[in-house]
Amino acid sequence: MSISNLKLSVMAGAVTLLAGQILPLPSLAAEGSSVVAEGKAIALSRKKGNCLACHLIEGGEFPGNLGPPLIAMKARYPDKQKLRAQIWDPTAANPESAMVPFGRNKVLTEAEMDKLVEYIWTL
Amino acid sequence: MQVNRLYSVLLVTALLGGGVGTTLAADAKAADPKVVEVQKMIDGAEKARKKAASVDSEWRDTGKFIKQAQAALKAGDYDKAMKLARKAEDEGNLGYQQGVSQQELHLPSYLKY
Amino acid sequence: MKKLLNRVAVLAIAGTVSMGAQATTPEEDRNAFNKLYKWRFSGVPMEEFVNGAYAIDPIGRENWEAIEEFPPYEPFIDEGEVMWETPFANGKGYKDCFPDGPAIAGNYPHWDKEQGMVMTLPLALNQCREANGEKPLKYKKGSITNIVAYTAFQSRGQVTNVVIPDDDPRALAAYENGRKFYFTRRGQLNFSCSTCHLQNTGMKVRTEILSPTLGQTTHWPTYRSKWGTVGTLHRRFTGCNKNIRAKPFKAQGEQYRNLEYFLTYMSNGLELNGPGARK
């Protein structure tokens, strides 16, 4: 994972937060939510994230149960970077993890990873 | 050296291009340094794929990407060919790393003896 | 060496002993597998594992039992019987290669000392053909499944009993290669056989239940609704490898034969119930 990507995603997150909570900046807010929407599309696509294969996501059809339900993600990962690292390569934290190393094995591009994390973090 | 490389590129292109009728066109294309560059990338990807296969760890689509890259090069779509070659080379390297990292068997902790 | 020492040190600290040398015997492996499945599916009798996911999924089982009332693999058995009874061009037939009759599935896979390899039933059938001047059959689908379906049906009720002879160290090596294959992560998705069928057996990927390894070898060939026809065990291996985005190996090549040797050993004691029907 490149540092610049990380910084970008963190910045984007901060901007989204600010835009959503304090500043009435419709253009920026729209951009933030479109990133989340793109992330959602990546998460749900069978050829990309295919998260539902293993995880329950509220509103998602036919979820598997190999992995834990994707809920309360902000509470579980207060640090968004840690969430990104976990999706990038879950075997780093646990060599026996059954989860796909989406970033390390380039199932997703770094840009797709950024968008995906934005979405997952909203769950 | 230069002559040698040109000769091998010609040979490869001729082999891939096939028939006598395409030889002239192939000559013209082979002289294009861009073609030489892209072909080199594809050859690199093929080398990486073989390395992964040597440790029984080749991925499903690597060979397909190389074929598609070769076809794109032939069609003159260099950007597409390069993108596919890069992707295939990455996969070859990652597959090889994956195979090497598991040369030794480690029985998982969830299997209790 | 330093790495190895480090690992030993780490293991010593962690207090695990069995992980170190990996010097487990096939029987110890089998007992460990049995223990895991018994614990995971405590209400399921051992002999039920030959029915795969249907041993643990009551809803799937209902559909499956309905399918088994009119078995979709029946025509394949019938065609296989014709093959068995029909002589080759040279006047000889399968019967001459296999004088013990068509009920021979329980003898496979076994270690073939002369050829120095794991011998499987489809391979033995093809060697018979070739010895009699016939073309070998393709290994994943087509008429190979007929003849294997016929022998499987005739062999129903035999008990899986893979033996690893101790008079040839290559046999144990083949078993260990199969075991290594089973535990090795592969493909872009980075799964091993054990990730799905041991670690997460019984869990669901989307709506599909991951079947236990125990019993996976008892019912081949199998009519799969997804295939719309009968296919061999090695065809199934191919599909599994593709699913995890790994390049599949050759059907009846060394890797898959060794894997079959290991897998079938894990099912020792279970009845053969082929051909099977699966979703």
Region of C192 please: left (phi>0), alpha (psi -120 to 50) or beta.
beta
Residues of B whose CB is below 8 A from C19: 106-107, 109
Question: Is residue C4 assigned to a domain?
Answer: no
Looking at the structure, tell me whether residues C123 and C239 fall in a common domain: no
Q: What does the pLDDT look like over B26-52, one tens digit per residue?
A: 555 557 999 999 999 999 999 999 999
CA distance, residue B94 to nearest chain A CA (Å)? 7
Model pLDDT, residue B18 = 42
Query: Is the predicted pLDDT of residue B1 greater than 90, yes or no?
Result: no
Residue A7 pLDDT > 50, yes or no?
A: no
The pLDDT of residue A4:
43
What is the pLDDT, as a whole number, of residue A14?
Answer: 40
As a whole number, the mean pLDDT across chain A is 83
Give the closest-approach CA distance of B100 to chain C in angstroms.
11
* Strands across the sheet containing C276-278: C229-231, C222-224, C276-278
Q: Which of C36, C184, C247 is the closest to B58 by Cβ?
A: C247
What are the CA-CA distances from residue A4 to residues A38, A53, A79, A112, A121 (Å)? 20, 31, 17, 14, 20
Provide the pLDDT for residue B30. 57
pLDDT in tens, chain C (279 residues): 444 444 444 344 333 334 444 679 999 999 999 999 999 999 999 999 999 999 999 999 999 999 999 999 999 999 999 999 999 999 999 999 999 999 999 999 999 999 999 999 999 999 999 999 999 999 999 999 999 999 999 999 999 999 999 999 999 999 999 999 999 999 999 999 999 999 999 999 999 999 999 999 999 999 999 999 999 999 999 999 999 999 999 999 999 999 999 999 999 999 999 999 999
Neighboring chains of B (3 or more beta-carbon pairs < 8 A): A, C
Inter-CA distances, B65 with B38, B45, C12, C116, Å: 14, 9, 46, 37
Please judge whether B94 and A96 are an interchain contact, meaning their C-beta atoms are less than 8 angstroms apart: no
Domain boundary pick from C154, C178, C196: C154
Say whether pLDDT at A30 is over 70: no
Tally the residues of chain A. 123
- pLDDT confidence tier of residue A29, bands split at 50, 70 and 90: low
Question: Measuring CA to CA, which residue among B66, B5, B64, B65 is closest to residue B36?
Answer: B5
CATH number at residue C124: 1.10.760.10
C64, C170: one domain: yes
At C23 the pLDDT is: 78
Residues of C in contact with A100 (CB under 8 A): 188-191
Average pLDDT, chain B: 84
CA distance A96 to chain B (A): 7
pLDDT digits (tens, 9 = 90+) for A82-110: 999 999 999 999 999 999 999 999 999 99
Please check whether residues C265 and C234 belong to one and the same domain: yes
B72 and B21 within one domain: no
Report in angstroms the alpha-carbon separations of A110 from A10, A98, A102, C252. 13, 21, 10, 39
In this prediction, residue A31 has a pLDDT band, given cuts at 50, 70 and 90, of: low
Q: What is the pLDDT of residue A17?
A: 40
Catalytic (active site) residue C240: yes
Q: Which of C190, C200, C210 minimises the CB distance to A100?
A: C190
For residue C99, what are the domain limits? 74-154
Q: Where does residue A40 rank: exposed (0-12), middle (13-18), buried (19+ CB within 10 A)?
A: buried
> How do beta strands C222-224 and C117-119 pair?
unpaired
Question: How many domains does chain C fold into?
Answer: 2
Residue B42 lies in a domain: yes
Domain co-membership, B42 together with B73: yes
- One-letter amino acid of A76: R
- Encode chain C in three state secondary structure: CHHHHHHHHHHHHHCCCCCCCCCCCHHHHHHHHHHHHHHHCCCCCHHHHHHHHHHCCHHHHHHHHHHHHCCCCHHHHHHHHHHHHCCCCCCCCHHHHCCCCCCCHHHCCEEECCCCEEECHHHHHHHHHHHCCCCCCCCCCCHHHHHHHHHHHHCCCCECCCCCCCCCHHHHHHHHHHHHHHHCCECCCCECHHHHHHHCCCCEECCEECCCCCCCCCCCCEEECCCCEEECHHHHHHHHHHHCCECCCCCCCHHHHHHHHHHHHHCCCCECCCCEEEC
Are C94 and C66 found together in one domain?
Answer: no
Q: How many domains does chain B have?
A: 2
Residue B1 vs residue C185, higher pLDDT: C185
**Do residue A64 and residue C191 have CB atoms under 8 angstroms apart?**
no
Interface of A with C (CB under 8 A): 52-54, 62-66, 91, 96, 98, 100-101, 105-107
Q: B26: domain range?
A: 1-31
Residue A48 has pLDDT above 80, yes or no: yes
What confidence tier does A3 reach under pLDDT thresholds 50, 70, 90?
very low
Report helix angle A110-120 to A3-21, nearest 10: 30
pLDDT for position A33: 84
Asked if B109's CB is within 8 angstroms of A96's CB, the reply is yes
CA distance C195 to chain A (A): 6
Give the integer Cα–Cα distance in Å for B93 and B88: 9
Minimum-distance CB partner of A96 among B87, B91, B108: B108
CATH of the domain at A46: 1.10.760.10
Tell me what ipTM this predicted complex has.
0.88
Output the six-digit token pair for B76: 């003159």
Name which of C209, C229, C213, C211 is nearest C221 in CA terms: C229
